[in-house]
Structure 1
Amino acid sequence: MLIRPAGLADVPAMTETLNWAIAHTDVIFRATPASIAEREDYLRELWEKDCPCLVAESDSGDYLGWALYHPYRDPQVWTGCYETTIYLSPTAQGQGVGTALLGALVKAARADKKVHSLLALIVSTNAASLKLHEKFGFENVGILKEVCYKFDRWLSLTHLQLLV
């Protein structure tokens, strides 16, 4: 498996993965699909903020998933605090892709002087993601209860934090 910086050519596959998660899971609260143009703009914003966006691909070059960190809320207020995001292709889940991507993100954050804290905001029912983040030392720092209604049920959001 190869973990590398994302480029604009990766955006269609990244957008497809995001839209699959929006339509079929509760791991993201968003209800409307993302467009490729929107996601290209977002990737450019990440580059302007000097934040990594990484893509995982198989040894044969197949796209597997993506991950990034970005400033949490207003960076002038939340100095040094960044939020992680990881999405895997549905066919890549359970194969160590999330571990590879999160490991690369944590390594990048530890080398990044502007990062003091990584946050992961995870739907409380997403046991696999909670376990993955805890494996890297993220600690549960609280739960916002029933903050989104999706798929005919209320969802809570667990906040995990890693001081890098």
Structure 2
Amino acid sequence: MLEEEYQPRRQLPRALRKPEPPEAPFAFSIRPAVETDLPGIREIYNHYVANSTVTFDEDRMTLREWRAKFHKAEKLDMPFLVAESPTGHLLGYTLVMPWQAKSAYRFTVENSIYLGPGSTGKGLGKALLAALIDACREAGIREIIAIIADKGADASIHLHETFGFKEVGRMGKVGFKFDRWLGTVMMQKSIKKKPRVKRA
């Protein structure tokens, strides 16, 4: 080998280098979830199970469990939405499930919203929550409850506040995960019916 082959390559001055190609803009569409989305949904959720306290689940959810949840939402006509990239990659999801089993609670739901790790901080959470609220209104739901961890979930609390969710209660030290005690913040939003357009 020649000695010069060991020398580091010289770079052109910045002004003479080819410009870096621009980063593609973050784009997505929101649609109702279908069963084939469930493996991607499971992966997003299980990332938070393993790495954060935003969910109190300690065991990863299986595909069978997600199928059961999906079919329950379908049977009850509960909104379940996903966001995907133009190439079909799943970026995040949101859904509601009944707040309680008793029939008197039938117009009240609890929401969940999770974004893929590379999709945070880009406005996707805002778009998903807006779409979920609209879908809940169309489904005749009147109250949405959000139960949010009191540590490590400031972005979620702020997001819900942006959409008019109000804090209605707190519970301290009701969860224990990653060797620490965690509490919850309960937030609530009332949904008004869409006004009927009067025909002339």
Using structure 2 for the length normalisation, give the TM-score.
Answer: 0.79
Which letter maps to 1:56? A
Q: Cα deviation per residue 1:49-87 (whole Å; 9 max; x = unaligned)?
A: 000110001233221010001110114132311110011
- Pick 1 or 2: higher relative contact order, CA cutoff 8 A, min separation 6: 1
What is the match of residue 88 of structure 1? Answer: 115
Where does the alignment leave 5 or more consecutive residues of structure 2 unmatched? 1-27, 192-200
What is the match of residue 38 of structure 2? Answer: 11
Q: Percent identity?
A: 36
Measure the CA separation in 2 of the matches of 1:48 and 1:109. 15
SS at match of 2:58: coil
The structure that is strand-richer by fraction is: 1
- Aligned partner of 2:147 among 121, 136, 147: 121
Measure the CA separation in 2 of the matches of 1:16 and 1:48. 24
Note if contact 1:28-1:123 (Cα within 8 Å) is conserved in structure 2.
Answer: yes
- Aligned partner of 2:75 among 42, 48, 53: 48
Aligned length: 163
What is the match of residue 139 of structure 2? Answer: 112
Measure the CA separation in 2 of the matches of 1:140 and 1:59. 36
Measure the CA separation in 2 of the matches of 1:14 and 1:101. 14
Note if contact 1:8-1:40 (Cα within 8 Å) is conserved in structure 2.
Answer: yes
Measure the CA separation in 2 of the matches of 1:100 and 1:77. 30
Note if contact 1:46-1:70 (Cα within 8 Å) is conserved in structure 2.
Answer: yes
Measure the CA separation in 1 of the matches of 2:138 and 2:65. 29
Q: CA RMSD in A?
A: 1.0
Q: Whose radius of gyration is greater, 1 or 2?
A: 2
SS at match of 1:94: coil
Shift, 1:31, TM fit: 0.6
Which letter maps to 1:116? R
- Aligned partner of 2:93 among 62, 66, 79: 66
Which letter maps to 1:26? T
